[in-house]
Amino acid sequence: MLNKLILNKVIGYVDDILLVIIILVTAFSFFIGVFLVFFTNIGGEVQWYSDVPLDFLIFGIFGLNSINFNLGISFMFFWTVYLACYLFCFLKPVSIFHLSSVKTPFKTIGLERIKIQRDNYLVITISWFSGYFVLSILIDVIQQLFGVTLGNPLTANPLLSFFYLSAAPLNEEIFFRVLLLGLPLFLLFVPFGKGLFLSTLYHPYKNISYRKGKYTTIAIAIIIALNSLVFGLSHVIFGGGYEIGKITQAGLGGVILAWLYYRYSLSSAITFHWISNFVFFAYSIFGYFLFQSPWNTESDNIFLAIVSVVFIIMGVIFLYRLFEQLTKKYLKKSKI
């Protein structure tokens, strides 16, 4: 028992350190993104002032996918939305860092002990993403053993690839989470005339939680499962370079995204998706710009390797803690 307590304490310290590193890495990616788009020539003939089409699903539905938009202005629009979501998660429901009461030896050097708030939305989002990152790698490895591949959505142009990957989180979260998940939840579980439409679309749990019962929970779980299935299938149905192996990986991501959206708001889901697309490819292309290392593969890219390793270690810790929590919860119920 004592050894397990010591192990959990060490794991907690390591997890806190990794979390701080990831916060710094993700925050710095905002600056890297701006630098790559506006201050480099990675796009060749395509520059920030070029007009490019946006393949938004919503635009396609309304027949507007043939309209071109300025790359730089569009990028900054997405960038601003992601920064707002990131800051919202950073501060909600309490700031990610909390200064606790002064304790020795911090008191002697005039510093206060910093405690990381585990119920903070950004901590929760990063933790779930790290767990998903580990599981997605395992899924890919297992599928490749059977000859099933994920495919590659990237274009031959680094700037265009980064731009479209940057646009995807906002595009897909509005379509799949808000329209295909939030709207059905509102219609099914929120009484008309309450004036909670926009609030429910942004954060369903706030307006549904007080009505939760056994059958409501089951219904929500079924809706989330269907939403995740559609999300996984869409990556292959709508093309974009993905192959059938992406369905499993994207479907798993869809479950977590749907849960984060339902429980912790649209900002959490967008931030999760933003980390997957924007952050990883910002560092990947930054490595390409500095060292001419491959930007569309993980091999020989020092920045991408470091970021991946940090997320993998944190993901293993998260999955271990999640398994431990679920085990305790199951054993407690079985005893009752």
Where is average pLDDT lowest: 58-67, 283-292, 325-334? Answer: 58-67
Residue 127: both structure tokens together? 């933790």
Q: Is the pLDDT of residue 5 over 60?
A: yes
Q: Decide: pTM greater than 0.85.
A: yes
What is the average pLDDT across 156-180? Answer: 91
Question: pLDDT exceeding 90 applies to what percent of the chain?
Answer: 53
Phi, psi angles (nearest 5°) of residue 96 = -60, -30
CA end-to-end distance (rounded Å), the chain? 23
What pLDDT sits at residue 334? 58
Angstrom distance (rounded) from CA 250 to CA 228 = 8
272-306 burial, b at 16+ Cβ within 10 Å, e below that, comes to bbbbbbbbbbbbbbbbbbeeebebbeeeebebbbe
Q: What is the dihedral of CA 225, 85, 28, 285, to 10 degrees?
A: 50
- The pLDDT, as a whole number, for residue 58 is 64
For residue 62, how many C-alpha atoms fall within 13 Å in the half-sphere facing its CB? 7
- 301 backbone φψ class: left, alpha, beta (φ>0; ψ -120 to 50): beta
Between CA 162 and CA 125, with CA 225 as vertex, the angle to 5 degrees is: 50
**Domain edges within the chain:** 2-335
pLDDT confidence bin for 110, thresholds 50/70/90 = very low
Q: For residue 213, what pLDDT is reported?
A: 72
pLDDT of amino acid 122 = 95
**111 pLDDT tier (thresholds 50, 70, 90):** very low
Biggest alpha carbon distance in the chain?
67
| pLDDT computed for residue 303 by the predictor | 85
Residue 141 above 90 pLDDT? yes
How many Å separate Cα 192 from the centre of its chain? 32
User: Above 60 in pLDDT, residue 136?
Assistant: yes
Mean residue pLDDT of the chain comes to: 85
Q: Crossing angle for the helix pair 302-335 and 2-38, nearest 10 degrees?
A: 140
